[in-house]
Amino acid sequence: MHDNPIHVIGGGLAGSEAAWQIARAGVRVIVHEMRPSRCTEAHKTDALAELVCSNSFRSDDAETNAVGLLHAEMRRAGSLIMAAADAHKLPAGGALAVDRDDFARHVTGALASHPGVVIERGEIAGLPPAGWDSVIIATGPLTSPALSAAIQDLTGEGALAFFDAIAPIVHLDSIDPAITWRQSRYDKAGPAGTGADYINCPMSKAEYETFIGALIAGEKTSFHAWEATTPYFEGCLPIEVMAARGRDTLRFGPMKPVGLSNPHRGAERPYAVVQLRQDNALGSLWNMVGFQTKLKHGEQVRIFRLIPGLAQAEFARLGGLHRNTFLNAPKLLDAELRLRVCPRLRFAGQITGCEGYVESAAIGLLAGQAAAAERRGMAWQPPPLTTAFGALLGHITGGHLGADADGAGAFQPMNVNFGLFPPLPSGEAADRRGKAKERGAAKKRALSARALADLEAWLAAPQRSAAE
């Protein structure tokens, strides 16, 4: 075990995974987590790797979905976050959802009981001491203000930020089973499901119109002046913002009625459907899928009780909105996630401009491996760009084109997606026969197969000493 420790600041998704990778590589690691002495606006517990909103790691389909592919790559690379997710998965159709408390307990326990890991509770309220020669900053979108300010001073960059929102959670015994029914879209069973994993609330055209009207008119939380120009993350828009974009936007988004048939109504198809996904192992709490919101709390209760089946809904948690901070990573970080102006500081997780639990943990995994290799005097090769790991890392540290004079095209947080992967060589999966949808799926399968093959080669490559 290397005695000179690496310091990881922040024990969230990225920091926990980074610490695990460092310890696995035989290097001592100290995790500095400010909770419970200081909390963020979204965290509720003192557990490491707390999931602040949804309990879903999204699709687990490694063949035709980029985040499912990232799951597969992380499992192959020995991820603690994926091991904990797999150990505590819940039925969720094609998605990998987890019991959030058991998941966080698993991660906390694994790190606390590892002989190479020390967990220190307390905020790092400024730049880390100069004596810490290798540090990973994984303090997330809600980095404490004192550390944020110190990073801004060091980089000379103004803060980059966007808004992220949280969806409400409902108690099962307050949902009306005479109106709702259980079914996964297209009856997909997925990694832990049966094909009947979601609770569905049907809406007629008239009910949908009334609901959209109420969402648009509902009273919202107001912004501070300094927040007014902050954009939303497009992948996680508040429900009322989507509704305001067009009356049918939600029917083509989270409330789409496809792949679902209401057994209470025979052949009659619902006009729109609200879905709830199981949130805990007991099955007593259910998360409103895609219903992140910045409506005032009283308005949420009033408006969401208009949903058929939720007239008596009791909410375990209401939705909310939080400002997220991230770095202009392509400019500030090198290919190993080190700050160019101060290479003893590495960054990982959502603060680097990736978006999502899985992506944050994946970047934590890479930062941990890179820092451990550096400590052991080994050269670390970033994963090939053809892998989901490499495509995501490439987006953060390299591939971005930069903003034009008006700021358009500026670096923005991104979920992993097939658009980040280099195209297949012409000829591969270039079969132009069949429907566009089938061709699209064939292309994704080919990209995934290439990714997994290239990942194996990367994992098998011999480690070299840095001097070579």
Q: Which residue is nearest to ligand FAD (CB)?
A: 12
Query: CA-CA distances (angstroms) from residue 108 to 23, 79, 80, 358?
Result: 14, 14, 10, 17
Q: What are phi and psi of 301, to 5 degrees?
A: -60, -50
* DSSP structural state of residue 418: G
- Separation between Cα atoms, residue 258 and residue 260, nearest integer Å: 5
- Separation between Cα atoms, residue 142 and residue 132, nearest integer Å: 23
Nearer to ligand FAD, 260 or 414 (CB): 414
Please, what is the end-to-end C-alpha distance for the chain in angstroms?
A: 23
Minimum CB separation of residue 323 from ligand FAD in Å reads 8
Give the residues lining the site for ligand FAD (CB under 6 A). 9-15, 32-35, 40, 42-43, 52-54, 123-124, 138-144, 147, 164, 166, 322, 324, 349-351, 356-357, 360
Nearer to ligand FAD, 256 or 322 (CB): 322
Q: What are phi and psi of 182, to 5 degrees?
A: -100, 125
Q: Which residues contact 369 (CB under 8 A, 6 or more apart)?
A: 21, 25, 77, 380
Nearer to ligand FAD, 14 or 378 (CB): 14
Nearer to ligand FAD, 378 or 393 (CB): 393
Q: Where are the beta strands (DSSP E) in 227-308?
A: 272-278, 285-288
Helix axes 100-112, 80-87, angle to 10 degrees: 140
Minimum CB separation of residue 271 from ligand FAD in Å reads 27
Alpha helices per DSSP H over 25-144? 66-76, 80-87, 100-112
Nearer to ligand FAD, 102 or 207 (CB): 102
Minimum CB separation of residue 458 from ligand FAD in Å reads 23
Minimum CB separation of residue 124 from ligand FAD in Å reads 4
* SS3 call for 121: strand
Nearer to ligand FAD, 166 or 366 (CB): 166
- Separation between Cα atoms, residue 394 and residue 351, nearest integer Å: 15
Minimum CB separation of residue 363 from ligand FAD in Å reads 8
Nearer to ligand FAD, 99 or 454 (CB): 99
Minimum CB separation of residue 153 from ligand FAD in Å reads 14
Minimum CB separation of residue 359 from ligand FAD in Å reads 7
Nearer to ligand FAD, 167 or 172 (CB): 167
Query: CA-CA distances (angstroms) from residue 346 to 145, 279, 368, 394?
Result: 19, 33, 9, 16
- Separation between Cα atoms, residue 324 and residue 160, nearest integer Å: 8
Minimum CB separation of residue 89 from ligand FAD in Å reads 15
